[in-house]
Structure 1
């Protein structure tokens, strides 16, 4: 009887009615519309829409929608939970949501930087608060002296910009051992290296007993052990890696861009420890990175680019000219060659060299090198997600991973938009945007695409540049200190997969960790397009005839076909059509302005299938629709009251997991007693609510309404601010030894004295 009552409940009857309605719609659509041959080309699109509707219904049939964002009682209860969580937060997990948060942004300088007669260590600790403060003040001082921005060149050494502390014991030790043979050469360890590709030690390591390190790392090493992996990259940066060609300091409006002095030379004398930057800025005893940033921006706002191609992108919809997907590389080479040498910028000269190399290279070697581990090592695949130069230990699966990926996308999108580079998120990053506008918690990298002409722009004007995050936001508050290296491959004229070594065209790399964004260019090529586009040719006799006239017997001209189809692909053969991409639509990705393809559902269906847009369980995670976040399914156990028996570590049935979204309001309050769940929801709730509203308008092609929603959101919330904390500040909040720069510097001075005394005794 209870079961009968349940079946006759109004809620069940309503859902049954909806099911019948959708089923009838599918039947009518497939039996009437598809009879007409004139609209066969729309069959796929209609099928997608029907599948999407049905999947949404199926996966939401057991879901509740409590509108928690506007539930006053719920929000009152949340405040009580927040206070309780903060009081019991022994591990400091919630430091960045404390109401009285005071971010430590000041650094006291050691004596050796302010007094010439003080003992100076041969290397100093890394702290971005110090580095950025000094650079901002140095730039401001030079601009005040009427020096033009384009004429100012800045000194640089990698030791000022990332953590090289793992090298300190080798730098301080006066006795230099042959680490090439004793540590890095693993060729004799047969059991360890089995199945791995390792390189001969002579190709990447030189024993140099008279150098600071005692050895020199010159190239990537192939697969290595975990301890060696970190040392190799840091050693290369300290003594061999060239400096960036440009430093790009982002602001909230534009950016400062400066060439680097002696960028092809690696010389520690260019570091703050040895150059005269601090002396030139009046020997401050203490610096504050936010104050230094704000002082520069107030006194000398960054000048807007005079190049029309580099103007910021702001329009709600961006219609892409088809010409963006085709570049005549040989013609561009001739144009650059015919330009007088004195009129070519440093970046132009390097770009010309790259193009000439690319055109003349027929079987390109692999350009990017990852931090590969030996295959015998557990989870060796993780190393593939880090650039070998900047690898700083594994953070995949840790809280830092989400922080770094969030900051990567924040700063890439800001950099691209401010410099007029057309780009959009792609693949898994586009799919995660669809769900709640935020990266999936299991993602290990980010994917973006751009037209081939924009890839050329990135390579010509910004290759080998270091991008520095805007330290302050538009509300005069601290934002972040991330640093990101732009690296464009050496064979971008190659638009076919070829030997498969270079499917990725460029990377935007976080130098704190080595995690990166993969950048690929889409171009009109000779690669055969997928069969999913064939209907568009079959239904257009003029296009079909034109293709046949321009093809040889039994040899289809794929470039002509692709041109008629208006389809473009990257070097890994991911295809998209012009109609799927254009117009691009302005949206927010992780609270940052970004563009997405207007017909993203077509793209996602072709790449992942329609289920990916609806299924709420994946890789041990469950999507909580009332919180709009992905949560570890195992973390739900023990936090619910009404359905706790259904949610446990052993729940395998999809039907069981679907019932997670049937939780009561009390269950949701109970879930918020978990610090991780509370923090994720609390930091993202306003943004994800906006995303849900915006998504409906974009799906229905109401781009104007989506623009209005964006304007409203901009008025209420801090658009563009990070949803997650700065990586370095997060580190020092959990590690007191990093908090006090002066203490670290003085420790190195003591170490220097100890080695100096030992040397005197030995003499």
Structure 2
């Protein structure tokens, strides 16, 4: 490995690096074959493949495995282009030839207009205080903490373990957990060296987490979701707190609340003992009412009561995730790896765990109450060391900087990457290349029967099943009790009273999961952007193939952005990818790259996804990616073969072309050659989701990479025909729900912002506005400048201009002059795929916006 170190530190020419790399490959192949233990051969061969592919560039034949950050940077610099603002670079290459022609054809008025627009954009760039929403960097990552209130040594009535109120700050939580990960990796590395093991767990001078045992840590939702809105209740004496009767009085139809709510005073002692194991001491540390289930949709209530129900349920009854995955920082090759830990069974909150003491001791403070010997047990071996030597007394207040800890973790530890023997590894390699991806029909074939899968898993000793496999088996057993017609609805919503005075838009709450509901929000654009960003990162890291569909695909078609009025995201995947998601990542909490934000997202797979017919009980969604800070989510649906009847509209609509052969298709339902699956006359498999959407393979495959919101995503092969089928006017109409598409800005703008700039402000119907903004009429340069006088529109244009221009370019690659699908232009695709790199977040981190920036800028 000394050769790897020398390469990472060398500043040689490309030719010299290539010579060294070829030599390195040859030496390492011999070295690895003769020396490395058998159980490491597969991983080491992956590393040599990485080195080989760096010199040969043959990504199709060589498997790639990540080295250290420095290794990746140096190796890629000798063979790959530097692409910091990749979409801008591609645009510059594409537009060089056009700029001279455009400049010659521009009138004096157009030239002046361009200068004025550029001046407005420059004013945004120079005045970040005024236009603070355009700066998505984190501004306040450090936090001052009265630390003695968290430590056992200084326990008092003011300690958080004794207070009724809850403490929450994501920067505190990240500081503790990132530090613990770093410490445990250091301890495991030291243990390897103490035991006289070789240094295979080291690579390029860094600890390789891929070669060390998994880490298991305690977890409690109160440290990961803001439940402090309950503090208003906790500050009251028990007799003044809300009870179930108050929930009942605020609910529609005045329901019997016993099915979901129990008063604090009626909770059994046995149940409270379970609560106390989480790190609580007193019954007063819980609300006056305990929520143990969902209040039915027909018993909707006001916004605030629904939020309290969500917080109370999360505090006591929300099941812990099985695993936590922290997304790594992006690298030049597009993947930053992950840091992961399994969740133990303790459910202990931080205020009663040892993690805070360990944080303090690792930073040079002595926190033990009596003796100073710290007892560490790992892998059945016990280690003692004196913690008091050279340690300082604890101050009243300390400054925590989780970002510094995060950087330290990345500097010293290689994150986890998929290994060649893990599901999704081949996908992972293809997705890194950003080439089009061809899907086989086998990926859409309905999985083996539920009964056969149950037999497979019950045939194994229980102690050999992972927590994820046990959960998968439980889902199979539960699903086996039901059919498509009688299964129970799985996902449940935060249905609220549309007449609530706080509910200004008469919202019903159908787009929020009830457990994570945190009030109706107008921050949807922030949340959806971060949802899509982190789902894409996770899917890329784990080799999970998905693509955008339905509303998001339509909004992508227009300008490569999400509709500003949308409130959810729809993605699809083949059924075998959903099975992978269920078996390996169900109930996993995904944590946003800490250098970008504080988002947390729960992966949850519907128990009844094993039934593949059309669901009668609205189990149309197979999985969700929940934003646990708001309840907003991504809907995930799988496509699979089934015996579901193809709806009549597919027989009538020729643009979809399932179509003419359905008589033969249906007659073949029970055909021996088709195993009950539907095929058309060309023997193409017809597959569907659990609602009403049917497809054949060439409408989906090959998948093509694109950008949405500055995020790499995949889109299906057939786009315009499908969108025309689902949205008859969606590709042509410049208006939807009082939003109008302004082509000069590539943005949707609200009607109220357009009316003041119209020449005839007496004609304000949607039809009249359309006549003034679309060909043969259009908005003048002066009218566009007036629109840009609106600070929100100007900020949005500043943030999105380069992204929408890139989308205009890629539409030339994917569509003909009429906007319809055309055969892929491989030359242009090769050019534009260089720009398919994750860019900086388009929107601010939600926590920073709500708790720091908004307070700072709105006095």
TM-score computed with the length of structure 2 as normaliser: 0.69
SS at match of 1:635: helix
Q: Which has the higher contact order (CA 8 A, sep 6+)?
A: 1
What's the counterpart of residue 410 of structure 2?
Answer: 297
Confirm or deny that 1:111 pairs with 2:147: yes
Mapped contact 1:585–1:596 kept (Cα < 8 A): yes
Deviation at 1:180, TM superposition (A): 3.2
- Structure 1: runs of 5 or more not aligned: 1-63, 473-478, 740-763
Which of residues 582, 591, 605 is equivalent to 1:488? 605
Q: Does 1:128 align with 2:244?
A: no
Any idea what the Cα deviations from partners look like across 1:447-492, whole Å, max 9, x if unmatched?
11111111111111111111001123xxxxxx22211111111111
Task: Tell me which of 301, 304, 322 is aligned to 1:224.
Answer: 301
Work out which of the residue numbers 250, 257, 264 in structure 2 matches 1:208: 264
Is the contact between residue 93 and residue 675 of structure 1 (CA under 8 Å) also seen in structure 2?
A: no
Contact 1:447 1:517 in 2 (8 A): yes
For residues 588 and 668 of structure 2, the distance between their equivalents in structure 1, rounded to whole angstroms, comes to 47
Counterpart contact for 1:510–1:516, Cα < 8 Å? yes
Deviation of the 1:215 alpha carbon: 3.1
Distance 1:546 1:168, change over 3 A: closer
1:177 positional shift: 5.2
Q: What secondary structure is seen at the aligned counterpart in 1 of 2:610?
A: coil
1:652 match: secondary structure: helix
Match of 1:628 among 721, 730, 746: 746
> 1:509-545 deviations in whole A, cap 9, x for unaligned?
11111111111111111111244655868877xx976
The corresponding residue for 1:453 is: 576
Q: Report the CA distance shift for 1:260/1:405 in structure 2 as closer, same or farther (over 3 A).
A: same
Other-structure match for 1:96: 133
* Alpha-carbon distance, 1:693 to partner: 0.7
Paired residue for 2:85?
none
Is the 2:668–2:678 Cα contact (8 Å) retained in structure 1?
no
Which deviates more, 340-349 or 231-240?
A: 340-349
**1:279 corresponding residue in structure 2:** 360
Indicate whether 1:258 and 2:326 are aligned: no
1:162 aligns with 2:162: no
1:180·1:207 contact (CA, 8 Å) conserved in 2? Answer: yes
- What does 1:540-689 correspond to in 2, within 5 Å? 548=667, 559-561=677-679, 564-609=683-728, 611-638=729-756, 640=757, 644-645=759-760, 649-650=764-765, 652-653=767-768, 654-658=770-774, 662-689=778-805
What is the Cα deviation at residue 394 of structure 1?
A: 0.8
Q: Distance in 1 between matches of 2:218 and 2:112?
A: 57
Whether the 8 Å CA contact 1:505–1:520 is kept in 2: the answer is: yes
| RMSD of aligned alpha carbons | 3.3
Matched positions, count: 641
**Displacement after TM superposition at 1:337 (Å):** 2.6
Aligned residue for 2:849? Answer: 730
Aligned to 2:462: 341
Tell me the distance in 2 between the aligned counterparts of 1:308 and 1:349: 18
Aligned to 2:154, the other structure's residue is in SS state coil
Q: Which of 429, 439, 460 is the matching residue for 2:552?
A: 429
Q: Distance in 1 between matches of 2:762 and 2:443?
A: 51
Change (3 A) 1:72 1:465: farther
Query: Aligned with 2:410: secondary structure?
Result: helix
Structure ranking higher in helix proportion: 1
Query: Any residues of structure 2 matched to 1:466-485 within 5 Å, and which?
Result: 466-472=589-595, 479-485=596-602
CA–CA separation in structure 1 for the residues paired with 2:618 and 2:364: 50
Offset at residue 726 of structure 1 (A): 1.0
Contact 2:705 2:714 survives alignment (8 Å): yes
TM-score, length basis structure 1: 0.77
Contact preservation (8 Å) 2:530, 2:599: yes
Superimposed CA distance per residue, residues 387-444 of structure 1 (whole angstroms, 9 cap, x where no aligned partner): 111111111xx2x111111111111111112111111111101100111111111101
- Quote the residue 1:30 is aligned against: none
Is 1:179 aligned with 2:242?
yes
Aligned to 2:496: 373
Instruction: Give the CA deviation at 1:601.
Output: 1.4
Secondary structure at the residue paired with 2:455?
helix
1:655–1:427 CA distance, 2 compared to 1 (3 A): same
Partner of 1:405: 528
Unmatched 5+ stretches in structure 2: 1-101, 190-208, 266-282, 331-335, 366-397, 816-821
Deviation string for 1:725-760 (max 9, x for gaps)? Answer: 111111234444899xxxxxxxxxxxxxxxxxxxxx
Once residues 356 and 680 of structure 2 are traced to their aligned partners in structure 1, the CA distance between those partners, rounded to angstroms, is 56
Q: CA deviation at 1:711?
A: 4.4
Q: Does the 8 Å contact 1:697/1:705 carry over to 2? A: no
| Residue in structure 2 matched with residue 463 of structure 1 by the alignment | 586
Task: Specify the alignment match of 1:152 in structure 2.
Answer: 215
Give secondary structure in 2 for the equivalent of 1:368. coil
Q: Distance in 2 between matches of 1:383 and 1:730?
A: 23
- For residues 149 and 828 of structure 2, the distance between their equivalents in structure 1, rounded to whole angstroms, comes to 53
**What is the CA-CA distance between 1:648 and the residue it aligns to?**
6.4
Q: What is the SS of the residue equivalent to 2:774?
A: helix
1:78 corresponds in structure 2 to: 117
Q: Distance in 2 between matches of 1:517 and 1:538?
A: 30
> 1:376-395 counterparts in 2 under 5 A?
376-377=499-500, 379=505, 381-395=507-521
Q: Distance in 1 between matches of 2:227 and 2:106?
A: 49
2:567 to 444, 447, 450: 444
Q: Deviations over 1:540-572 (max 9, x none)?
A: 7xx9768646659xxx99733469442211111
1:528 aligns to what? 645
Output the CA distance in 2 between the equivalents of 1:733 and 1:499.
Answer: 45
Shift, 1:697, TM fit = 0.7
Q: What whole-Å deviation, never above 9, does each CA across 1:617-675 have from its counterpart, x for those lacking one?
A: 1111111112111111220233x4xx532696445323234269722333322321211
Give the Cα–Cα distance (whole angstroms) in 2 for the partners of residues 112 and 193 of structure 1: 46
Distance 1:570 1:731, change over 3 A: same
Shift of 1:707: 3.7
SS of corresponding position for 1:243: coil
Task: Give the conservation status (yes or no) of the 8 Å contact 2:248–2:255.
Answer: no
Q: CA deviation at 1:131?
A: 1.4
Q: How does 1:61-72 map to 2 (within 5 A)?
A: none
Matches of 1:674 and 1:294, distance apart in 2: 39
Counterpart CA distance in 2 for 1:339 and 1:226 is 47
Residues 74 and 708 of structure 1, relative CA distance in 2, 3 Å threshold:
farther
